[in-house]
Amino acid sequence: MRKVKIQVIGRVQGVGFRYVTKQLADDMEVKGTVRNESDGSVYIEAAGTNERIEQFITALENNPTPFSKVNNVIVTDDAKLDNFVSFKITN
């Protein structure tokens, strides 16, 4: 099980990014949370197999909504994250 923190930077608020992130996570069986940050970025905590996490990150990097513009995706492994049972939008 791989656990990661992800910060997505760009035009990612107000464009359905969190909703699509949840859809991607559900489709890929990734568990965790997604929320908007006050700096305009989106913060994600995610857990899943290494293969599914890599697929999830790639999907995020590829502008998953028609109106998003992802400039940067910062991924940090963190084994201390919670053991999530689902994927939720937290704000």
User: Would you kindly state where each structural domain of the chain is located, as residue ranges?
Assistant: 2-80
What is the mean pLDDT of each successive set of 10 residues along the chain, which is 91 residues long? 97 96 97 98 98 98 93 97 95 85
- The CATH number that domain 2-80 falls under is 3.30.70.100
Residues 6+ apart with CB under 8 A from 68: 10, 11, 12, 15, 16, 17, 20
pTM for this model (two decimals): 0.96
The predicted structure's pLDDT at residue 91: 85
Residues labelled catalytic:
18, 36
